[in-house]
Amino acid sequence: MLASPPGRTPATRPRAALFSSATEGGAAPLATPRSASAAADRPLFALSLPDFDGGGGGFGTAPGAVPDRFSQAGAALVTRGAVSDPVAADAPADVALSQRFALALEEWWVAQRAPPPVAGYLPLLEAYEALASAALDDTERKLRAPDGGGGSRPALEAEAAALRAERQSWRLLLRLYAGFDGRQAAPPPFPPPPDDWGAMLRALGPAAAGGGGGGGGGGGAEALAATAAAAGLPTKSLHDEEVQEAALRQADPVADLALRAVRWAEDGAREKPRPLPLPVTHRSTAFRLAVGEAAAHGLPTSLDPDAPAREGRRLDAEDEEEEAALLRTVWLMAQQLCRQCGQPWRAATLGGGEPWRYDSAAGGWVGNPDRPLWRSACGAIARRALQRPEVPASAHEAAAYASLASDASLLHAVLPVCGGWEDE
C-alpha cells in the first residue's frame, strides 16, 4: 500500500509530480490525509493496487476483463475517516495545505461515476492551483505586514518561493492537459496556401470588394480577379499565417506542447515585479552635441539609433549605463517599456512578430507580411551587438534580438543573460 504520513506529502516528490506520473497511465493521484491527528497506521486516504484475477472491480469492469489503472486505483482509494472532518484552524500552514488538497481530491472523487477522460481531471487541477494560490497570497500578506514577518522572514520567504513553484507546477499541468482528449485524434491535413486569393476576398462580401478598408474604388465582388497577377500587378504569395501556425500545432503534437510550455513560462514572468520606467533619451550625448564637445569626447555626430555602430563610436558613459539598464529590463518587458522610456523606435523594432492574418473584427488584414525579413533584421542587430562586448548594453541587446530571430545559431547570445531554467 502506498500512503502518505498524516498531514504530509511524500518528501521526495512534489504533489504536481505525483499527479503527473499517476495520470500518465490513467491512475488517480496519490492523496494526503486530512487530519494531522490521524494515526500513522490509519491514514485517511490510501492507494493500493489489489490483484484482479477475473473477479472484476472498479467502475463497472466486466468479470474477466483487465481493468485500467484508474479503475484499480478507484477500487483501492478508501476513505477511512469521517468525510466532514474540518481542517484544524491551528494546523501548521504546510499541514493545513495538505489537508485542503486531500479535501479537494475527496470532493472530486465523489463526483466521479466512471473513469473520466483526461479532461475530467482539469477541475481537480484547478482546485489544486487555487489552493496553492490562496496559500501563497496568505504568505505574501505576512511578508507585507509592518513587521515584515519579524524574525521568521527568511522562513516566510522560503515558504513563498516553494508555494509559488507549486502553483506554477499546477498551472503547467493545466496548460499541458487542456484539450488533451481532442489532441489524440488524427490531425487535419495541412492546408496549402491558396492559389486564388480573390476567392477568399470575394467570400468577405461586397463591402470588402468595395474598398471600405481604404482600398479605393468599388465594383462589387465580381470586380475581384482570380489572381492579382491577372491584372498585371507584381505580387508575392501571402497567406493567413495565424491559420497556418494553428495547423502546424495541430499536425505536430511536440510543437504544440512546446508552445504551451512557453506560454506558461511567459505567464509566470508577467507576475514578477517590474521596475519604474526612467528616461533613456541619450541626454548627455545630446548635450555634448549641442555645445560642440561631441568630437572631443569621441561621441557620434548624430543621435539616430544607428550612429554609434555606423561611426564606430560610443555614447556618453552615462547614457551607456542608462541604455544597459533599459535593455536588461527590455529582456522582461519589451515594447511597453521602450515607449515609456522614450525609445519608440526600439519598440517598433521589437514589434514585427505578429502573424499576417485577417482580423474580422477590424475588417482588414493586420500583422507583418514580411516576418522573415524582420527576423533576419533582428538577427543582424544581435550579431552586431555581439561584436561590441565592451559596450555595457551589448549582452542584453544581443539576447533580446536573438530571441526574436528564430535562429538556432544565435542561441549562444541568449543563454548568458537567462536568469534561470524558465528563461532558458
Structural domain boundaries of the chain?
A: 71-81+91-177, 274-417
Backbone angles phi, psi at 364, to 5 degrees: -165, 175
What pLDDT was estimated at residue 383? 92
Is the pLDDT at 75 greater than 80? The verdict is no
What pLDDT was estimated at residue 350? 78
Output 129 or 116, whichever has higher pLDDT.
129
Asked if 297 and 316 touch (Cβ cutoff 8 Å), the reply is yes
Asked if 12 and 18 touch (Cβ cutoff 8 Å), the reply is no
What pLDDT was estimated at residue 216? 43
For the beta carbon of residue 79, count every other beta carbon within 10 angstroms.
Answer: 14
pLDDT grade for 275, boundaries at 50, 70 and 90: low
In CATH, what class is 274-417?
mainly alpha
- Cα–Cα distances in Å, from 174 out to 101, 119, 213, 360, 408? 16, 10, 40, 30, 29
Percent of the chain with pLDDT over 70: 58
- Mean pLDDT of the 225-249 span: 61
What pLDDT was estimated at residue 193? 57
Is the pLDDT at 51 greater than 50? The verdict is no
pLDDT grade for 64, boundaries at 50, 70 and 90: very low
Is the pLDDT at 114 greater than 60? The verdict is yes
The type of residue at 273 is P
What pLDDT was estimated at residue 40? 36
For the entire predicted model, the pTM comes to 0.40
What pLDDT was estimated at residue 1? 33
* DSSP letter, residue 305: T
Output 69 or 347, whichever has higher pLDDT.
347
What pLDDT was estimated at residue 200? 58
pLDDT grade for 120, boundaries at 50, 70 and 90: confident
Over the chain, what is the mean pLDDT? Answer: 67
Instruction: Tell me the per-residue pLDDT of 196-234, one tens digit each, with 9 for 90 and over.
Output: 655 655 565 554 444 444 444 444 444 444 455 555 555
- Mean pLDDT of the 238-264 span: 75
Output 76 or 103, whichever has higher pLDDT.
103
pLDDT grade for 332, boundaries at 50, 70 and 90: low
For 272, half-sphere exposure in the C-beta direction (CA atoms, 13 angstrom radius) is: 15
Per DSSP, the residues of 154-169 read HHHHHHHHHHHHHHHH
What pLDDT was estimated at residue 210? 46
Output 401 or 207, whichever has higher pLDDT.
401
- Mean pLDDT of the 230-255 span: 66
What pLDDT was estimated at residue 371? 84
- Mean pLDDT of the 92-110 span: 78
Is the pLDDT at 57 greater than 60? The verdict is no
Q: Name the most confidently modeled range: 4-8, 26-30, 121-125.
A: 121-125
Instruction: Using the structure block, give the residue that is written with the C-alpha cell 484482479.
Output: 52
Output 247 or 238, whichever has higher pLDDT.
247
Output 13 or 195, whichever has higher pLDDT.
195
Least confident of 129-138, 228-237, 380-389: 228-237
pLDDT grade for 304, boundaries at 50, 70 and 90: confident
Which distant-in-sequence residues (6+ apart) come within 8 Å of 200 by Cβ? 194
Q: Quick one: 105 exposed, middle or buried, by C-beta within 10 A (0-12, 13-18, 19+)? A: buried
Is the pLDDT at 159 greater than 50? The verdict is yes
Per DSSP, the residues of 57-98 read BTTTBPTT----HHHHHHHH----S-TTPPPPTTS-HHHHHH
- Mean pLDDT of the 46-64 span: 36
pLDDT grade for 338, boundaries at 50, 70 and 90: confident
pLDDT grade for 273, boundaries at 50, 70 and 90: low
What pLDDT was estimated at residue 150? 61
Is the pLDDT at 31 greater than 50? The verdict is no
- Mean pLDDT of the 252-274 span: 73
Is the pLDDT at 257 greater than 50? The verdict is yes
What pLDDT was estimated at residue 198? 59
Torsional sign, CA 86, 89, 92, 97 = positive
